[in-house]
Structure 1
Amino acid sequence: METLLKEMEEYAAVRHVPIINEQERSAFCRIVQDFCPHRILEIGTAIGYSALLLARCAADDACVTTLERSEERAEQAQKYIARSPYASCIKIHVGDAGKLLQQENIRAGAPYDLVFIDAAKGQYPDYFAKALPLLADHAVLLADNVLFRGYVRSEQKIPHRYRTMVNRLREYLCLAAETPGCHTDILENGDGLAVTRWDRTAEASTTERGRNHAEKA
């Protein structure tokens, strides 16, 4: 397995394929191991590197559903996954993640114990909104590259080509921080990994308090 992962790292470096940052990998794996999820949804397969990390670090019976827009990358990911010990527990779906998240075959896999977002940065708020109803009552949602080269928390002028992306990432972090039931920390090693712990019972309690307050008012 280590030899395969090393091969994938070299492939990604040569072809400039984004995979989880080396500085974040140990923290990423530790979180997955600690949470020990059984059902996992990944948004953004790329060449399958993080899907393999998820499968290796999760519960022994874990199933990984992963979404990838590029047919070429999905095909390459499938080749790598087929050579791993986890070929039978990782399923790749090809298409636009925003649309796939609303399809019955993806929703049928819910509730998911863990969701990992590492796809189009400008779509993170949409992914968050569509993934939240698919989470188990107690789940974790991970999102990579949320600080995007330091621009998201910077007051410096953002290059024009990055402005929409940075604004969407800022919106995502607001959603992850302010949505009832969510508690979010950001690991700043690498490009920023947002770790959102979700508690549906806390969301229900917050909603009920808000309703009671409105009635009294």
Structure 2
Amino acid sequence: MSSPLNDYLSTLQPIRDPILLKMKDYAVQNNIPIMEDVSMAVLLSLMKLKKPQTVLEIGTAIGYSAIRMAKACKECKIVSCDLDEKRLAIAKAFLHESGFSDRITLIYGDALDDLAEIEHNAPYDMVFIDAAKGQYEKYFKAFSPMVAKHGMVVSDNVFFRGMVPGIVQPTKRYRTVINRLREYNEYLVREEGFETTFYPIGDGLAVSIKTD
């Protein structure tokens, strides 16, 4: 959800880490979506405040978000799941290069099909959802019971290019995804046991804090 404000905020938080710059360049060159800078800054700020010890990430891609989370929280362990074997192999190489292989565990496969392996590492202080947008509600229902008391679920892209709130007219190609994300956002508001705040930054960020 590009805007002059987002663009301006991005210039205030330049990335200087060589491995992160290399990963961003790789993502651009290979058309691989990674989290926007402003949304990432908010996510990392929340992590520094909450200090999660265990994190579950749904959607590894090339490992960019996982590495940034590991850098932000020096003690946390991250379990990251993705069903794209090629991207996961690239992520593994970047993890090795960055020195975070010991703190980030990669799982190959559909997260919804690997519940036993994921649950083995539960409870999680934070779950970060950044995978198939049409499956967000299923992910939340599957993994929110594994969230520790006062933990949080963070969902990226909940405004999806401005189409979900209607800022941009939804295209036919994304109509199903947009409808499901709208349903997901409404579900988050109704969900008992969590309090959700929506942040109109980047591509839209939802932060759901477990209250019970």
Identity of aligned residues (%): 37
Alignment of 1:1-217 (within 5 A): 2-58=17-73, 60-100=74-114, 102=115, 104-154=116-166, 157-199=169-211, 201=212
Q: Distance between the aligned counterparts of 2:125 and 2:21, measured in 1?
A: 28
Q: What is the SS of the residue equivalent to 1:87?
A: coil
Mark the structure with the bigger radius of gyration.
1
Letter in 1 for 2:193: G
Q: Deviations over 1:140-175 (max 9, x none)?
A: 111111000111111775222111101111121112
> Retained in 2: the 8 A contact 1:36–1:57?
no
Q: CA deviation at 1:99?
A: 1.2
> Retained in 2: the 8 A contact 1:122–1:164?
yes
Q: Distance between the aligned counterparts of 1:168 and 1:176, measured in 2?
A: 12
Unaligned runs of 5+ in 1: 202-217
> Retained in 1: the 8 A contact 2:88–2:106?
yes
Structure 2 equivalent of residue 211 of structure 1: none
Q: Distance between the aligned counterparts of 2:47 and 2:149, measured in 1?
A: 17
Structure 2 equivalent of residue 210 of structure 1: none
> Retained in 1: the 8 A contact 2:161–2:168?
no
Q: What is the SS of the residue equivalent to 1:83?
A: helix
Decide which moves more: 90-99 or 19-28.
Answer: 19-28
Q: Distance between the aligned counterparts of 1:30 and 1:85, measured in 2?
A: 22
Q: CA deviation at 1:112?
A: 0.3
Q: Distance between the aligned counterparts of 1:3 and 1:82, measured in 2?
A: 14
Letter in 1 for 2:192: P
Query: Is the alpha carbon distance of 1:156 and 1:136 closer, same or farther for their aligned partners in structure 2, counting shifts above 3 Å?
Result: same
Q: Deviations over 1:106-139 (max 9, x none)?
A: 1011110000010000110100100111110111
* TM-score normalized with structure 2 length: 0.89
Letter in 1 for 2:22: E
Query: Is the alpha carbon distance of 1:188 and 1:161 closer, same or farther for their aligned partners in structure 2, counting shifts above 3 Å?
Result: same
Q: Distance between the aligned counterparts of 1:28 and 1:132, measured in 2?
A: 18
**RMSD after superposition:** 1.4
Q: What is the SS of the residue equivalent to 1:190?
A: coil
* TM-score normalized with structure 1 length: 0.87
Q: Distance between the aligned counterparts of 2:35 and 2:170, measured in 1?
A: 24
Poorly superposed stretches of 4+, deviation over 2 Å: 155-158
Letter in 1 for 2:206: A
Decide which moves more: 182-191 or 32-41.
Answer: 182-191
Q: Distance between the aligned counterparts of 1:3 and 1:164, measured in 2?
A: 38
> Retained in 1: the 8 A contact 2:162–2:168?
no
